């Protein structure tokens, strides 16, 4: 075997070893995602089965971060001048915005943002008229949701960099806290769509309690790793045998 051929086989072998380890790592990555999904399912079912929490009576607001998807009720008054609009939102395939408004909890117990639901693109011009329907004490039923971040989406939370900009891509409560003059809850509440006869239209997320395809994907990656790792030595052996045969014929 010449130097060039030896070099070629050396490089090929190194690439096969690297490829095998990558495939194995992908298999374990899918198992990690499976475990994350199982933990999420367990958490979601626990919160779903928990009693409804009254935020007007609950004192430890920072503990609420651990209770995402738990049902809550809260009463208070909307602060419309500080509401934000989430862009690129759809309702039954129609483009629009989600309206997210601070709620001043009754008896001055703090401020929590409420994801009130969807309005169409043209509705934003009439948002003051829409808000008039909610300009009184509100009894909110919904679920706890956690703050979202750029790490989740790979995006800036706001459109532009103006401090007073109220157009956002997602609900980043840390970003909101940095531009507000009052303290807000570290969670927001997504409104239960009990009455969608008037806008904003609201609907709670539909979450499937499944383990997803992660275990099947893990088996596939491990199979490919085994095929490459164990099959390559047999391929090498066959090539060497063919080389010996050709050498004898010469």
Apex 89 CA angle, 147 and 110, nearest 5: 35
The verdict on 31 and 78 lying in the same domain is no
CB atoms within 10 A of CB 211: 14
The verdict on 82 and 187 lying in the same domain is yes
Q: Is residue 184 part of a domain?
A: yes
Q: Is residue 64 part of a domain?
A: no
**Nearest-angstrom CA–CA distance, 171 and 113:** 9
**Nearest-angstrom CA–CA distance, 89 and 93:** 9
Burial of 182 (0-12, 13-18, 19+ CB in 10 A): exposed
Over the stretch 132-190, which tens digit does the pLDDT of each residue have? 999 999 999 999 999 988 766 656 566 554 445 789 999 999 999 998 999 999 999 99
What's the pLDDT score for residue 113? 97
State how far Cα 127 lies from the chain centre: 28
Q: Is residue 97 part of a domain?
A: yes
**Is the overall model pTM greater than 0.85, yes or no?**
no
Q: Is residue 65 part of a domain?
A: no
What's the pLDDT score for residue 164? 53
What's the pLDDT score for residue 109? 75
The verdict on 106 and 181 lying in the same domain is yes
The verdict on 169 and 127 lying in the same domain is yes
Give the chain's residues under pLDDT 70: 1-2, 151-164, 194-195, 239-250
Three-state secondary-structure class, residue 103: strand
The verdict on 86 and 179 lying in the same domain is yes
- Cis upstream peptide for 200 (omega within 30°): yes
- Tell me the β-bridge partners of 119: 97
- Expressed in angstroms, the distance from the first to the final Cα of the chain is 14
- Tell me the β-bridge partners of 101: 114
Structure tokens at 132: 């008039």
The verdict on 159 and 227 lying in the same domain is no
What's the pLDDT score for residue 142? 96
Q: Is residue 62 part of a domain?
A: no
The verdict on 133 and 162 lying in the same domain is yes
**153 near 79, Cβ under 8 Å?**
no
Three-state secondary-structure class, residue 87: strand
Give me the DSSP letters along 110-141. Answer: -EEEEEEEEEEGGGGGGHHHHHHTT-S-EEEE
Q: Is residue 78 part of a domain?
A: yes
**Nearest-angstrom CA–CA distance, 69 and 87:** 23
What's the pLDDT score for residue 7? 79
State how far Cα 54 lies from the chain centre: 26
The verdict on 75 and 182 lying in the same domain is yes
The verdict on 177 and 232 lying in the same domain is no
The verdict on 118 and 231 lying in the same domain is no
The verdict on 16 and 122 lying in the same domain is no
Q: Is residue 204 part of a domain?
A: no
The residue range of the domain holding 78 is: 70-191
The verdict on 177 and 231 lying in the same domain is no
Total domain count for the chain?
2
Q: Is residue 206 part of a domain?
A: no
């Amino acid at each position: 075997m010449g130097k060039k051929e030896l070099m070629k086989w050396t490089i090929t072998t190194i690439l096969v070893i690297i490829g095998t380890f990558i495939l194995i790592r992908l298999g374990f990555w899918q198992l990690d995602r499976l475990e994350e999904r199982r933990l999420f399912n367990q958490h979601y079912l626990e919160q779903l089965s928990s009693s409804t929490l009254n935020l007007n009576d609950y004192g430890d607001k920072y503990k609420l971060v651990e209770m995402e998807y738990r049902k809550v009720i809260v009463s208070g008054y909307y602060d419309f001048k500080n509401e934000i609009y989430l862009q690129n939102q759809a309702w039954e395939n129609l483009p629009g915005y989600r309206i997210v408004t601070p709620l001043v909890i009754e008896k001055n117990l703090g401020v929590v943002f409420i994801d009130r639901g969807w309005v169409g693109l043209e509705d934003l011009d009439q948002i003051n008229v829409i808000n008039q329907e909610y300009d009184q004490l509100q009894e909110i039923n919904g679920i706890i949701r956690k703050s979202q971040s750029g790490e989740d989406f790979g995006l800036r939370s706001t459109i532009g960099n103006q401090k007073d900009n109220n157009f956002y891509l997602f609900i980043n409560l840390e970003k909101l806290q940095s531009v507000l003059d009052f303290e807000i809850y570290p969670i927001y509440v997504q409104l239960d769509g009990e009455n969608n006869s008037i806008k904003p239209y609201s609907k709670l997320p539909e979450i499937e309690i499944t383990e997803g395809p992660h275990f099947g994907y893990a088996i596939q990656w491990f199979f490919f790793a085994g095929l490459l790792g164990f099959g390559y030595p047999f391929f090498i052996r066959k090539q060497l045998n063919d080389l010996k045969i050709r050498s004898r014929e010469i």
